[in-house]
Chains A and B, each alone.
Chain A
Protein backbone atom coordinates (compact mmCIF):
# COMPACT_ATOMS: atom_id res chain seq x y z
CA UNK A 1 0.00 0.00 0.00
CA UNK A 2 2.92 2.32 0.47
CA UNK A 3 4.56 1.27 -2.78
CA UNK A 4 5.19 4.86 -3.73
CA UNK A 5 7.37 5.28 -0.66
CA UNK A 6 9.62 2.52 -1.96
CA UNK A 7 10.70 4.79 -4.78
CA UNK A 8 12.77 6.69 -2.24
CA UNK A 9 16.14 5.11 -2.83
CA UNK A 10 18.18 3.40 -0.18
CA UNK A 11 20.97 5.84 -0.75
CA UNK A 12 18.75 8.75 0.28
CA UNK A 13 17.69 6.96 3.43
CA UNK A 14 21.27 6.14 4.39
CA UNK A 15 22.47 9.69 3.83
CA UNK A 16 19.60 11.16 5.84
CA UNK A 17 20.33 8.75 8.68
CA UNK A 18 24.01 9.69 8.63
CA UNK A 19 23.18 13.36 8.79
CA UNK A 20 20.80 12.81 11.71
CA UNK A 21 23.44 10.83 13.58
CA UNK A 22 26.05 13.52 13.02
CA UNK A 23 23.76 16.25 14.25
CA UNK A 24 22.52 14.38 17.31
CA UNK A 25 25.99 13.31 18.41
CA UNK A 26 27.60 16.70 17.78
CA UNK A 27 27.86 17.23 21.54
CA UNK A 28 30.30 14.35 21.89
CA UNK A 29 32.71 15.69 19.30
CA UNK A 30 32.78 19.17 20.80
CA UNK A 31 32.47 18.18 24.47
CA UNK A 32 35.90 19.52 25.34
CA UNK A 33 34.73 23.06 24.63
CA UNK A 34 32.25 23.16 27.54
CA UNK A 35 33.64 24.90 30.62
CA UNK A 36 33.51 23.15 33.98
CA UNK A 37 30.92 24.71 36.29
CA UNK A 38 32.06 27.15 38.94
CA UNK A 39 30.49 26.07 42.18
CA UNK A 40 30.44 29.08 44.44
CA UNK A 41 30.26 28.28 48.16
CA UNK A 42 26.98 29.30 49.79
CA UNK A 43 26.80 32.92 50.88
CA UNK A 44 25.56 31.92 54.31
CA UNK A 45 25.12 28.76 56.31
CA UNK A 46 27.70 26.03 56.77
CA UNK A 47 25.71 22.98 55.99
CA UNK A 48 23.08 22.29 53.35
CA UNK A 49 19.79 20.56 54.18
CA UNK A 50 21.23 17.35 52.77
CA UNK A 51 24.43 15.69 51.73
CA UNK A 52 26.12 17.37 48.76
CA UNK A 53 25.99 14.33 46.48
CA UNK A 54 22.34 13.81 47.23
CA UNK A 55 21.61 17.49 46.61
CA UNK A 56 23.44 17.29 43.29
CA UNK A 57 21.50 14.31 42.05
CA UNK A 58 18.12 14.70 43.72
CA UNK A 59 17.49 18.34 44.64
CA UNK A 60 14.63 18.49 42.17
CA UNK A 61 12.94 15.43 43.66
CA UNK A 62 13.07 17.02 47.08
CA UNK A 63 11.81 20.33 45.78
CA UNK A 64 9.06 18.77 43.66
CA UNK A 65 7.76 16.67 46.50
CA UNK A 66 7.66 19.49 48.97
CA UNK A 67 6.23 21.87 46.39
CA UNK A 68 3.14 19.69 45.92
CA UNK A 69 2.70 19.35 49.68
CA UNK A 70 2.97 23.08 50.14
CA UNK A 71 0.87 24.26 47.22
CA UNK A 72 -1.90 21.69 47.51
CA UNK A 73 -1.97 20.83 51.23
CA UNK A 74 -0.64 24.03 52.73
CA UNK A 75 2.28 22.31 54.46
CA UNK A 76 4.67 25.06 55.52
CA UNK A 77 8.08 25.09 57.13
CA UNK A 78 9.29 21.78 55.66
CA UNK A 79 13.05 21.67 55.07
CA UNK A 80 13.48 21.61 51.27
CA UNK A 81 12.21 24.94 50.08
CA UNK A 82 13.31 26.83 47.01
CA UNK A 83 13.22 30.02 49.06
CA UNK A 84 15.71 28.31 51.34
CA UNK A 85 18.03 27.55 48.39
CA UNK A 86 17.96 31.16 47.28
CA UNK A 87 18.33 32.42 50.83
CA UNK A 88 21.69 30.70 51.31
CA UNK A 89 23.10 30.54 47.81
CA UNK A 90 22.48 34.03 46.43
CA UNK A 91 25.78 35.91 46.38
CA UNK A 92 26.13 39.62 47.08
CA UNK A 93 27.72 42.10 44.71
CA UNK A 94 30.35 44.63 45.86
CA UNK A 95 27.56 47.08 46.62
CA UNK A 96 25.93 44.49 48.86
CA UNK A 97 22.96 43.85 46.60
CA UNK A 98 21.91 40.24 46.13
CA UNK A 99 22.74 38.64 42.76
CA UNK A 100 20.20 36.39 41.09
CA UNK A 101 21.04 32.68 41.54
CA UNK A 102 20.22 32.15 37.87
CA UNK A 103 22.57 34.88 36.62
CA UNK A 104 25.62 33.94 34.53
CA UNK A 105 28.22 32.09 36.61
CA UNK A 106 26.04 31.96 39.73
CA UNK A 107 25.30 28.87 41.80
CA UNK A 108 22.25 27.50 39.97
CA UNK A 109 23.07 28.71 36.50
CA UNK A 110 26.67 27.57 36.18
CA UNK A 111 25.89 23.95 36.99
CA UNK A 112 22.75 23.93 34.87
CA UNK A 113 24.63 25.41 31.93
CA UNK A 114 27.18 22.61 32.24
CA UNK A 115 24.50 19.94 32.46
CA UNK A 116 22.50 21.65 29.68
CA UNK A 117 19.31 21.63 31.75
CA UNK A 118 17.05 24.65 31.52
CA UNK A 119 16.02 26.11 34.87
CA UNK A 120 12.31 26.83 34.86
CA UNK A 121 12.02 27.99 38.48
CA UNK A 122 12.98 31.62 38.29
CA UNK A 123 10.66 32.84 35.57
CA UNK A 124 8.11 32.84 38.42
CA UNK A 125 10.02 32.45 41.68
CA UNK A 126 12.17 35.16 43.20
CA UNK A 127 15.84 34.53 42.42
CA UNK A 128 17.09 36.83 45.19
CA UNK A 129 16.22 36.63 48.89
CA UNK A 130 13.93 39.35 50.08
CA UNK A 131 12.64 39.41 53.62
CA UNK A 132 11.72 35.76 53.26
CA UNK A 133 12.50 35.20 56.91
CA UNK A 134 10.49 38.20 58.02
CA UNK A 135 7.26 36.98 56.48
CA UNK A 136 7.68 33.57 58.01
CA UNK A 137 8.33 31.50 54.93
CA UNK A 138 11.51 30.20 56.51
CA UNK A 139 12.06 28.94 60.06
CA UNK A 140 13.03 31.85 62.31
CA UNK A 141 16.34 30.26 63.23
CA UNK A 142 18.57 28.45 60.79
CA UNK A 143 18.31 24.72 61.20
CA UNK A 144 20.56 23.47 64.04
CA UNK A 145 23.34 21.08 63.17
CA UNK A 146 21.85 18.13 64.99
CA UNK A 147 18.64 18.66 63.06
CA UNK A 148 20.46 18.70 59.75
CA UNK A 149 22.25 15.48 60.62
CA UNK A 150 18.95 13.86 61.48
CA UNK A 151 17.37 14.96 58.20
CA UNK A 152 20.42 13.72 56.34
CA UNK A 153 20.18 10.29 57.93
CA UNK A 154 16.52 10.16 56.95
CA UNK A 155 17.47 11.03 53.41
CA UNK A 156 19.37 7.78 52.95
CA UNK A 157 16.13 6.04 52.12
CA UNK A 158 14.44 7.03 48.88
CA UNK A 159 10.87 7.25 50.15
CA UNK A 160 10.55 10.99 50.48
CA UNK A 161 7.03 10.82 51.78
CA UNK A 162 7.96 8.55 54.66
CA UNK A 163 10.94 10.74 55.36
CA UNK A 164 8.79 13.77 55.55
CA UNK A 165 6.38 12.06 57.88
CA UNK A 166 9.28 11.10 60.13
CA UNK A 167 10.67 14.58 59.98
CA UNK A 168 7.43 16.07 61.16
CA UNK A 169 6.61 13.44 63.77
CA UNK A 170 9.92 13.87 65.48
CA UNK A 171 10.03 17.60 65.01
Chain B
Protein backbone atom coordinates (compact mmCIF):
# COMPACT_ATOMS: atom_id res chain seq x y z
CA UNK B 1 0.00 0.00 0.00
CA UNK B 2 1.35 3.37 -0.91
CA UNK B 3 2.14 5.81 1.85
CA UNK B 4 -0.17 8.76 1.91
CA UNK B 5 1.84 11.94 2.08
CA UNK B 6 -1.05 14.33 1.66
CA UNK B 7 -1.44 16.52 4.70
CA UNK B 8 -4.86 17.44 6.00
CA UNK B 9 -5.91 20.33 8.22
CA UNK B 10 -9.11 21.67 9.66
CA UNK B 11 -10.52 24.49 7.58
CA UNK B 12 -7.99 27.31 7.94
CA UNK B 13 -8.75 31.01 8.05
CA UNK B 14 -12.28 31.86 9.02
CA UNK B 15 -13.70 33.87 6.16
CA UNK B 16 -16.64 36.16 6.73
CA UNK B 17 -18.54 34.07 4.19
CA UNK B 18 -18.08 31.02 6.42
CA UNK B 19 -19.28 32.87 9.50
CA UNK B 20 -22.33 34.24 7.70
CA UNK B 21 -23.19 30.78 6.46
CA UNK B 22 -22.84 29.41 9.98
CA UNK B 23 -25.15 32.09 11.34
CA UNK B 24 -27.80 31.54 8.66
CA UNK B 25 -27.68 27.76 9.13
CA UNK B 26 -27.97 28.14 12.89
CA UNK B 27 -30.96 30.46 12.62
CA UNK B 28 -32.64 28.16 10.10
CA UNK B 29 -32.06 25.16 12.37
CA UNK B 30 -33.59 27.00 15.30
CA UNK B 31 -36.56 28.00 13.16
CA UNK B 32 -36.93 24.36 12.12
CA UNK B 33 -36.90 23.30 15.75
CA UNK B 34 -39.63 25.81 16.51
CA UNK B 35 -41.77 24.50 13.63
CA UNK B 36 -41.31 20.93 14.88
CA UNK B 37 -42.27 21.96 18.40
CA UNK B 38 -45.41 23.59 17.06
CA UNK B 39 -46.32 20.56 14.98
CA UNK B 40 -46.04 18.33 18.02
CA UNK B 41 -47.74 20.71 20.41
CA UNK B 42 -50.67 21.63 18.18
CA UNK B 43 -50.92 18.32 16.37
CA UNK B 44 -50.59 17.54 12.70
CA UNK B 45 -53.72 19.47 11.78
CA UNK B 46 -51.53 22.54 11.28
CA UNK B 47 -49.76 20.71 8.45
CA UNK B 48 -51.17 19.85 5.05
CA UNK B 49 -51.15 16.17 5.93
CA UNK B 50 -54.40 14.23 6.23
CA UNK B 51 -55.55 10.68 6.83
CA UNK B 52 -55.21 10.12 3.08
CA UNK B 53 -51.90 11.88 2.45
CA UNK B 54 -50.31 10.67 5.66
CA UNK B 55 -46.71 11.43 4.81
CA UNK B 56 -46.03 14.98 3.73
CA UNK B 57 -43.20 17.32 2.95
CA UNK B 58 -41.08 16.39 6.01
CA UNK B 59 -40.89 12.85 4.65
CA UNK B 60 -39.80 14.18 1.27
CA UNK B 61 -36.97 16.06 2.96
CA UNK B 62 -36.07 13.14 5.22
CA UNK B 63 -35.98 10.62 2.38
CA UNK B 64 -34.01 13.04 0.18
CA UNK B 65 -31.49 13.66 2.95
CA UNK B 66 -31.08 9.95 3.64
CA UNK B 67 -30.63 9.15 -0.05
CA UNK B 68 -28.20 12.04 -0.48
CA UNK B 69 -26.25 10.91 2.59
CA UNK B 70 -25.76 7.44 1.18
CA UNK B 71 -24.75 8.87 -2.19
CA UNK B 72 -22.39 11.46 -0.70
CA UNK B 73 -20.18 8.56 0.24
CA UNK B 74 -19.31 8.16 -3.45
CA UNK B 75 -16.12 10.19 -3.10
CA UNK B 76 -14.70 8.02 -0.33
CA UNK B 77 -15.85 4.78 -1.93
CA UNK B 78 -14.25 5.64 -5.27
CA UNK B 79 -11.00 6.52 -3.52
CA UNK B 80 -10.63 3.68 -1.05
CA UNK B 81 -12.59 0.83 -2.64
CA UNK B 82 -12.17 1.45 -6.35
CA UNK B 83 -8.72 3.01 -6.01
CA UNK B 84 -9.40 6.21 -7.95
CA UNK B 85 -6.61 8.42 -6.56
CA UNK B 86 -8.16 11.60 -7.92
CA UNK B 87 -10.87 11.41 -5.20
CA UNK B 88 -8.40 10.68 -2.39
CA UNK B 89 -8.09 14.30 -1.15
CA UNK B 90 -11.90 14.47 -0.81
CA UNK B 91 -12.50 11.12 0.88
CA UNK B 92 -12.65 12.56 4.40
CA UNK B 93 -15.03 15.33 3.32
CA UNK B 94 -17.20 12.75 1.67
CA UNK B 95 -17.57 10.57 4.77
CA UNK B 96 -18.17 13.53 7.09
CA UNK B 97 -20.81 14.88 4.72
CA UNK B 98 -22.54 11.48 4.52
CA UNK B 99 -22.75 11.19 8.31
CA UNK B 100 -24.02 14.72 8.89
CA UNK B 101 -26.65 14.47 6.14
CA UNK B 102 -27.95 11.22 7.58
CA UNK B 103 -28.19 12.77 11.04
CA UNK B 104 -30.25 15.63 9.60
CA UNK B 105 -32.50 13.24 7.69
CA UNK B 106 -33.18 11.10 10.75
CA UNK B 107 -33.88 14.21 12.79
CA UNK B 108 -36.60 15.28 10.34
CA UNK B 109 -38.05 11.78 10.31
CA UNK B 110 -38.23 11.69 14.10
CA UNK B 111 -39.63 15.22 14.47
CA UNK B 112 -42.46 14.39 12.09
CA UNK B 113 -43.64 11.48 14.27
CA UNK B 114 -46.94 11.88 16.05
CA UNK B 115 -45.18 11.15 19.32
CA UNK B 116 -41.50 12.13 18.93
CA UNK B 117 -41.27 11.97 22.73
CA UNK B 118 -41.52 8.20 22.40
CA UNK B 119 -38.27 7.84 20.48
CA UNK B 120 -37.04 5.58 23.27
CA UNK B 121 -39.83 3.13 22.43
CA UNK B 122 -38.81 3.13 18.78
CA UNK B 123 -35.24 2.37 19.81
CA UNK B 124 -36.10 -0.41 22.23
CA UNK B 125 -39.21 -2.16 20.92
CA UNK B 126 -38.84 -3.81 17.55
CA UNK B 127 -41.09 -5.71 15.20
CA UNK B 128 -38.63 -7.48 12.96
CA UNK B 129 -41.13 -7.98 10.18
CA UNK B 130 -41.17 -4.23 9.65
CA UNK B 131 -38.89 -2.70 7.03
CA UNK B 132 -38.92 0.41 9.21
CA UNK B 133 -37.31 -1.60 12.01
CA UNK B 134 -34.58 -2.87 9.72
CA UNK B 135 -33.95 0.68 8.64
CA UNK B 136 -33.44 1.85 12.21
CA UNK B 137 -30.51 -0.60 12.36
CA UNK B 138 -29.31 0.29 8.88
CA UNK B 139 -29.24 4.01 9.71
CA UNK B 140 -27.57 3.75 13.11
CA UNK B 141 -25.16 1.18 11.68
CA UNK B 142 -24.32 3.54 8.85
CA UNK B 143 -23.47 6.33 11.27
CA UNK B 144 -21.36 3.99 13.40
CA UNK B 145 -19.50 2.51 10.42
CA UNK B 146 -19.08 6.00 8.97
CA UNK B 147 -17.38 7.17 12.16
CA UNK B 148 -15.11 4.10 12.12
CA UNK B 149 -14.34 4.70 8.44
CA UNK B 150 -13.45 8.33 9.08
CA UNK B 151 -11.28 7.34 12.03
CA UNK B 152 -9.25 4.97 9.87
CA UNK B 153 -8.58 7.92 7.57
CA UNK B 154 -7.78 10.35 10.36
CA UNK B 155 -5.51 8.11 12.39
CA UNK B 156 -2.37 6.90 10.64
CA UNK B 157 -2.06 3.95 12.99
CA UNK B 158 -5.20 2.36 11.59
CA UNK B 159 -4.82 3.72 8.07
CA UNK B 160 -4.30 0.25 6.66
CA UNK B 161 -7.89 -0.72 7.44
CA UNK B 162 -9.38 2.10 5.37
CA UNK B 163 -10.00 0.07 2.24
CA UNK B 164 -11.50 -2.88 4.12
CA UNK B 165 -13.80 -0.70 6.22
CA UNK B 166 -14.58 1.23 3.05
CA UNK B 167 -15.71 -1.94 1.31
CA UNK B 168 -17.96 -2.79 4.25
CA UNK B 169 -19.44 0.72 4.30
CA UNK B 170 -20.01 0.50 0.55
CA UNK B 171 -22.02 -2.71 0.93
CA UNK B 172 -23.83 -1.28 3.92
CA UNK B 173 -24.99 1.77 2.08
CA UNK B 174 -26.25 -0.23 -0.88
CA UNK B 175 -28.34 -2.25 1.59
CA UNK B 176 -29.40 0.96 3.32
CA UNK B 177 -30.67 2.56 0.13
CA UNK B 178 -32.38 -0.71 -0.80
CA UNK B 179 -34.07 -0.64 2.60
CA UNK B 180 -35.22 2.94 2.08
CA UNK B 181 -36.55 2.03 -1.36
CA UNK B 182 -38.33 -1.00 0.07
CA UNK B 183 -40.38 1.22 2.39
CA UNK B 184 -42.04 2.48 -0.77
CA UNK B 185 -41.90 -0.79 -2.68
CA UNK B 186 -44.05 -3.28 -0.80
CA UNK B 187 -47.25 -1.45 0.01
CA UNK B 188 -49.86 -3.73 -1.51
CA UNK B 189 -52.64 -1.32 -0.65
CA UNK B 190 -51.26 1.54 -2.77
CA UNK B 191 -50.77 0.40 -6.31
CA UNK B 192 -48.16 3.06 -7.12
CA UNK B 193 -46.01 1.89 -4.22
CA UNK B 194 -46.22 -1.82 -4.92
CA UNK B 195 -43.19 -2.09 -7.21
CA UNK B 196 -39.92 -3.81 -6.36
CA UNK B 197 -38.09 -1.55 -8.85
CA UNK B 198 -38.26 1.17 -6.16
CA UNK B 199 -35.10 -0.24 -4.54
CA UNK B 200 -32.76 0.09 -7.56
CA UNK B 201 -34.49 3.33 -8.51
CA UNK B 202 -33.67 4.75 -5.09
CA UNK B 203 -30.06 3.56 -5.37
CA UNK B 204 -29.73 5.37 -8.70
CA UNK B 205 -31.34 8.49 -7.26
CA UNK B 206 -29.05 8.28 -4.26
CA UNK B 207 -25.85 8.26 -6.32
CA UNK B 208 -27.11 11.19 -8.40
CA UNK B 209 -28.06 13.35 -5.41
CA UNK B 210 -24.99 12.32 -3.42
CA UNK B 211 -22.57 13.08 -6.24
CA UNK B 212 -24.29 16.40 -6.85
CA UNK B 213 -24.05 17.58 -3.25
CA UNK B 214 -20.50 16.30 -2.94
CA UNK B 215 -19.55 18.33 -6.02
CA UNK B 216 -21.15 21.44 -4.55
CA UNK B 217 -19.41 20.97 -1.20
CA UNK B 218 -16.06 20.29 -2.86
CA UNK B 219 -16.39 23.53 -4.80
CA UNK B 220 -17.35 25.44 -1.67
CA UNK B 221 -14.44 24.06 0.35
CA UNK B 222 -12.02 24.89 -2.47
CA UNK B 223 -13.38 28.40 -2.42
CA UNK B 224 -12.88 28.65 1.35
CA UNK B 225 -9.34 27.46 0.76
CA UNK B 226 -9.07 30.44 -1.59
CA UNK B 227 -8.69 28.25 -4.65
CA UNK B 228 -10.80 26.39 -7.17
CA UNK B 229 -11.36 22.73 -7.92
CA UNK B 230 -8.63 21.37 -10.20
CA UNK B 231 -9.87 20.97 -13.77
CA UNK B 232 -9.19 17.23 -13.75
CA UNK B 233 -11.41 16.80 -10.69
CA UNK B 234 -14.17 18.85 -12.27
CA UNK B 235 -14.08 16.65 -15.34
CA UNK B 236 -14.01 13.46 -13.31
CA UNK B 237 -17.03 14.61 -11.31
CA UNK B 238 -18.82 15.61 -14.51
CA UNK B 239 -18.31 12.15 -16.01
CA UNK B 240 -19.43 10.48 -12.79
CA UNK B 241 -22.58 12.57 -12.47
CA UNK B 242 -23.31 12.12 -16.19
CA UNK B 243 -23.40 8.32 -15.91
CA UNK B 244 -25.28 8.38 -12.64
CA UNK B 245 -27.96 10.52 -14.30
CA UNK B 246 -28.22 8.13 -17.24
CA UNK B 247 -28.67 5.22 -14.81
CA UNK B 248 -31.41 7.12 -13.02
CA UNK B 249 -33.13 7.92 -16.29
CA UNK B 250 -32.95 4.26 -17.29
CA UNK B 251 -34.63 3.02 -14.10
CA UNK B 252 -37.21 5.77 -14.21
CA UNK B 253 -38.15 4.91 -17.81
CA UNK B 254 -38.36 1.19 -17.03
CA UNK B 255 -40.51 1.95 -13.98
CA UNK B 256 -43.03 4.05 -15.86
CA UNK B 257 -43.11 1.93 -19.01
CA UNK B 258 -43.78 -1.22 -17.01
CA UNK B 259 -46.60 0.59 -15.21
CA UNK B 260 -48.11 1.61 -18.54
CA UNK B 261 -48.02 -1.99 -19.66
CA UNK B 262 -49.94 -3.41 -16.68
CA UNK B 263 -53.69 -2.69 -16.90
CA UNK B 264 -54.01 -2.49 -13.11
CA UNK B 265 -51.50 0.38 -12.91
CA UNK B 266 -52.56 2.30 -16.02
CA UNK B 267 -54.91 4.69 -14.24
CA UNK B 268 -52.21 5.63 -11.72
CA UNK B 269 -49.66 6.02 -14.45
CA UNK B 270 -51.88 8.31 -16.50
CA UNK B 271 -52.24 10.35 -13.32
CA UNK B 272 -48.48 10.70 -12.86
CA UNK B 273 -47.84 11.49 -16.51
CA UNK B 274 -50.88 13.70 -17.09
CA UNK B 275 -52.59 14.57 -13.78
CA UNK B 276 -51.93 17.36 -11.30
CA UNK B 277 -48.43 16.02 -10.67
CA UNK B 278 -47.55 15.99 -14.38
CA UNK B 279 -45.86 19.40 -14.30
CA UNK B 280 -43.68 18.34 -11.41
CA UNK B 281 -42.94 15.02 -13.05
CA UNK B 282 -42.07 16.32 -16.50
CA UNK B 283 -40.47 19.66 -15.68
CA UNK B 284 -39.15 18.87 -12.20
CA UNK B 285 -37.92 15.32 -12.46
CA UNK B 286 -37.33 14.81 -16.19
CA UNK B 287 -36.30 18.26 -17.48
CA UNK B 288 -34.72 19.93 -14.42
CA UNK B 289 -33.48 16.76 -12.74
CA UNK B 290 -32.15 14.81 -15.71
CA UNK B 291 -32.18 16.51 -19.12
CA UNK B 292 -30.77 19.90 -18.08
CA UNK B 293 -27.88 18.50 -16.04
CA UNK B 294 -27.12 15.96 -18.77
CA UNK B 295 -26.90 18.72 -21.36
CA UNK B 296 -24.77 20.94 -19.12
CA UNK B 297 -22.41 18.09 -18.32
CA UNK B 298 -22.21 17.04 -21.95
CA UNK B 299 -21.21 20.59 -22.79
CA UNK B 300 -18.60 20.56 -20.01
CA UNK B 301 -17.13 17.29 -21.13
CA UNK B 302 -16.71 18.69 -24.61
CA UNK B 303 -14.73 21.70 -23.39
CA UNK B 304 -10.96 21.67 -23.37
CA UNK B 305 -9.22 21.17 -20.02
CA UNK B 306 -7.88 24.66 -19.29
CA UNK B 307 -11.29 26.33 -19.28
CA UNK B 308 -11.52 25.45 -15.61
CA UNK B 309 -13.48 28.48 -14.50
CA UNK B 310 -16.19 27.89 -17.02
CA UNK B 311 -16.16 24.17 -16.19
CA UNK B 312 -16.82 24.91 -12.53
CA UNK B 313 -19.82 27.06 -13.40
CA UNK B 314 -21.33 24.33 -15.54
CA UNK B 315 -20.76 21.68 -12.87
CA UNK B 316 -22.29 23.97 -10.26
CA UNK B 317 -25.43 24.47 -12.33
CA UNK B 318 -25.70 20.79 -13.26
CA UNK B 319 -25.29 19.63 -9.64
CA UNK B 320 -27.80 22.15 -8.34
CA UNK B 321 -30.34 21.11 -10.98
CA UNK B 322 -29.80 17.40 -10.33
CA UNK B 323 -30.23 17.91 -6.59
CA UNK B 324 -33.45 19.91 -6.95
CA UNK B 325 -34.79 17.55 -9.61
CA UNK B 326 -34.03 14.61 -7.34
CA UNK B 327 -36.06 16.15 -4.54
CA UNK B 328 -38.94 16.77 -6.93
CA UNK B 329 -38.75 13.12 -7.94
CA UNK B 330 -39.00 12.05 -4.30
CA UNK B 331 -41.96 14.43 -3.92
CA UNK B 332 -43.75 12.87 -6.89
CA UNK B 333 -43.11 9.34 -5.61
CA UNK B 334 -43.98 9.98 -1.95
CA UNK B 335 -46.81 12.50 -2.23
CA UNK B 336 -48.18 11.79 -5.70
CA UNK B 337 -48.71 8.12 -4.95
CA UNK B 338 -50.76 8.97 -1.87
CA UNK B 339 -53.15 11.35 -3.62
CA UNK B 340 -54.34 8.61 -5.97
CA UNK B 341 -57.58 7.06 -4.66
CA UNK B 342 -57.16 3.51 -3.39
CA UNK B 343 -59.33 1.09 -5.32
CA UNK B 344 -61.38 -0.95 -2.86
CA UNK B 345 -64.06 -2.10 -5.26
CA UNK B 346 -62.71 -2.83 -8.73
CA UNK B 347 -65.40 -2.55 -11.39
CA UNK B 348 -67.43 -0.05 -9.37
CA UNK B 349 -67.59 3.71 -9.32
CA UNK B 350 -67.68 5.45 -5.95
CA UNK B 351 -70.64 7.84 -6.05
CA UNK B 352 -70.43 9.07 -2.45
CA UNK B 353 -68.04 8.77 0.48
CA UNK B 354 -67.24 10.84 3.54
CA UNK B 355 -63.55 10.12 3.12
CA UNK B 356 -62.61 10.97 -0.45
CA UNK B 357 -62.69 7.53 -2.04
CA UNK B 358 -63.92 8.99 -5.30
CA UNK B 359 -61.30 11.48 -6.42
CA UNK B 360 -57.74 12.62 -6.02
CA UNK B 361 -56.76 13.92 -2.62
CA UNK B 362 -55.37 17.41 -2.25
CA UNK B 363 -52.16 18.21 -0.46
CA UNK B 364 -50.58 21.60 0.14
CA UNK B 365 -47.60 21.64 2.46
CA UNK B 366 -47.84 24.20 5.23
CA UNK B 367 -45.12 26.61 6.28
CA UNK B 368 -44.43 24.45 9.36
CA UNK B 369 -43.56 21.49 7.16
CA UNK B 370 -41.23 23.59 5.03
CA UNK B 371 -39.67 24.79 8.27
CA UNK B 372 -39.04 21.29 9.62
CA UNK B 373 -37.67 20.07 6.27
CA UNK B 374 -35.42 23.05 5.63
CA UNK B 375 -34.38 23.02 9.27
CA UNK B 376 -33.17 19.45 8.84
CA UNK B 377 -31.15 20.35 5.75
CA UNK B 378 -29.65 23.37 7.48
CA UNK B 379 -28.87 21.41 10.63
CA UNK B 380 -27.00 18.82 8.52
CA UNK B 381 -24.97 21.50 6.82
CA UNK B 382 -24.36 23.31 10.12
CA UNK B 383 -22.96 20.13 11.62
CA UNK B 384 -20.84 19.62 8.54
CA UNK B 385 -19.50 23.18 8.60
CA UNK B 386 -18.54 22.79 12.24
CA UNK B 387 -16.89 19.40 11.69
CA UNK B 388 -14.86 21.04 8.93
CA UNK B 389 -13.42 23.43 11.50
CA UNK B 390 -12.77 20.78 14.13
CA UNK B 391 -11.32 17.85 12.22
CA UNK B 392 -8.53 17.77 9.66
CA UNK B 393 -10.67 17.00 6.63
CA UNK B 394 -9.35 19.47 4.07
CA UNK B 395 -6.29 18.66 2.00
CA UNK B 396 -4.03 21.15 0.25
CA UNK B 397 -4.39 18.97 -2.79
CA UNK B 398 -8.13 19.56 -2.80
CA UNK B 399 -7.94 22.91 -4.55
CA UNK B 400 -5.86 24.55 -7.19
CA UNK B 401 -4.71 28.14 -7.12
CA UNK B 402 -6.84 30.57 -9.07
CA UNK B 403 -5.02 31.51 -12.24
Contact = CB atoms under 8 A, between A and B. Distances in A.
> Do the two chains bind?
yes
Contacts of B10: 4
A23 interface: no
Contacts of B154: 1
A139 B338 CA distance: 46
Contacts of A4: 10, 389-392
A13 interface: no
A30 to B, nearest CB: 26
Interface in B92-120: none
Interface string B382-402: 000000011110000000000
A31 interface: no
A2 interface: yes
Interface range, A side? under 10
B403 interface: no
Contacts of A5: 390
B4 interface: no
A4 B389 CA distance: 8
Nearest to A118: B117
Interface range, B side? under 10
Interface in A1-42: 1-2, 4-5
Contacts of B392: 1, 4
Contacts of A1: 151, 154-155, 391-392
Interface string B129-167: 000000000000000000000010011000000000000
B255 to A, nearest CB: 40
Interface string B361-390: 000000000000000000000000000011
Contacts of B390: 2, 4-5
Contacts of A2: 390-391
Contacts of B391: 1-2, 4
A5 B10 CA distance: 10
A1 B151 CA distance: 9
A49 B79 CA distance: 68
A1 B393 CA distance: 11
Nearest to B9: A4
Contacts of B389: 4
B202 to A, nearest CB: 34
A4 B392 CA distance: 8
Nearest to A3: B392
Nearest to A1: B154
A84 B214 CA distance: 60
B282 to A, nearest CB: 45
A2 B151 CA distance: 11
A4 B387 CA distance: 11
A5 B392 CA distance: 11
Contacts of B151: 1
Interface of A: 1-2, 4-5
Given A4-B10, A4-B389, 5 more contacts: A1-B151, A1-B392, A2-B391, A4-B390, A4-B392
6 contacts: A1-B151, A1-B391, A1-B392, A2-B390, A4-B10, A4-B391
What 7 A-B pairs come out closest when comparing CB atoms? A1-B154, A4-B10, A1-B155, A4-B390, A5-B390, A1-B392, A4-B392
Interface of B: 10, 151, 154-155, 389-392
